């Protein structure tokens, strides 16, 4: 009697790419500062389905400028994420001058640079190097549509299929990303509440990262 081989189901490797700037303002619009102490690894695991495994969580942001206390809170949060295995990638803010056409008064502003480019490059690179089978993109920035299209073009050449799913932060949407992605859904309040870091996160060499009181 012939014995039919039972194929082992392929495990889908999922890479999670987080637009920190987009997520921050989404969380602020939802509950102020109460949910900023978000455990991105725990959240990513909760987004997985049966047959999927977490390959990487990459978080892209830029250091706060002009507010030393806010920068300290941000650095504490980033260190806590890194202690849990999240890859934190920093961009920068570029100084610009804005002015009022009516009165001629000018002032200094800052525009985030490099974070979205770094996110797009990491997403395309991981797909090209066959490190992930599925992309979870946590953003509502339509500038990332080009990166999704680049993934599509690589798939067409390789004859493969990398699924791209966009997760929109609270209160944020992008028709461009919605149409470019295989699927999309909003990040719900319940998942955010369930995925908060503990008040104390242990790090290396006996370090402890405390939830900022300002975020309570």
User: 195-215: per-residue pLDDT in tens?
Assistant: 999 999 999 888 999 999 999
Give pLDDT tens digits for 103-132. Answer: 555 444 445 557 889 999 999 999 999 999
User: What's the DSSP call for residue 100?
Assistant: -
In terms of DSSP bridges, do strands 134-138 and 200-202 run parallel, antiparallel, or are they unpaired? unpaired
Q: Return the pLDDT at 32.
A: 85
CATH class of 12-215: alpha beta
Q: Which residues contact 187 (CB under 8 A, 6 or more apart)?
A: 26, 138, 167, 168, 169, 170
Query: What's the pLDDT score for residue 106?
Result: 46
pLDDT at 143: 94
Count Cβ atoms below 10 Å from residue 168 Cβ, excluding itself.
21
- Arithmetic mean of pLDDT over the chain: 88
pLDDT at 102: 59
Which tokens belong to 198? Answer: 């503990």
Bridge pairing between strands 163-168 and 134-138 = parallel
Q: Are 52 and 14 in contact (CB under 8 A)?
A: yes
Give residue for tokens 């809170």.
73
Inter-axis angle of helices 145-158 and 115-128, nearest 10: 10
Residue 92 confidence (pLDDT): 55
Give the residues of the chain that fall short of pLDDT 50. 1-3, 8, 93-98, 100, 106-110
Q: How far is CA 99 from CA 96, 107, 140, in A?
A: 10, 6, 28
| In the chain, where the domains are located | 12-215
Q: Look at residue 130 in the predicted model and tell me its pLDDT.
A: 92
Three-state DSSP class for residue 57: strand
């Amino acid at each position: 009697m012939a014995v039919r081989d039972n194929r082992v189901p392929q495990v889908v490797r999922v890479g999670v790419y987080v637009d920190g700037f987009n997520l921050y303002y989404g969380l602020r619009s939802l509950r102020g500062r109460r949910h900023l102490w978000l455990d991105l690894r725990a959240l990513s695991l909760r987004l997985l389905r049966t047959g999927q495994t977490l390959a990487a969580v990459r978080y892209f942001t830029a250091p706060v400028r002009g507010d030393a206390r806010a920068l300290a809170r941000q650095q504490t949060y980033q260190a806590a994420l890194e202690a849990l295995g999240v890859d934190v990638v920093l961009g920068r803010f570029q100084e610009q001058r804005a002015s009022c056409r009516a009165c001629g008064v000018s002032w200094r502003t800052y525009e985030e640079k490099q974070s979205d480019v770094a996110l797009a490059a990491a997403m395309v690179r991981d797909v090209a190097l066959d490190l992930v089978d599925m992309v979870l993109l946590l953003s509502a920035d339509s500038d990332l549509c080009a990166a999704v299209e680049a993934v599509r073009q690589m798939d067409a050449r390789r004859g493969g299929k990398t699924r791209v799913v966009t997760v929109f932060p609270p209160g944020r949407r992008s028709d461009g990303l919605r149409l470019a992605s295989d699927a999309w859904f909003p990040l719900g309040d319940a998942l955010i509440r369930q995925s908060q870091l503990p008040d104390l996160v242990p790090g290396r060499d006996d370090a402890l990262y405390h939830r900022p009181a300002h975020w309570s």
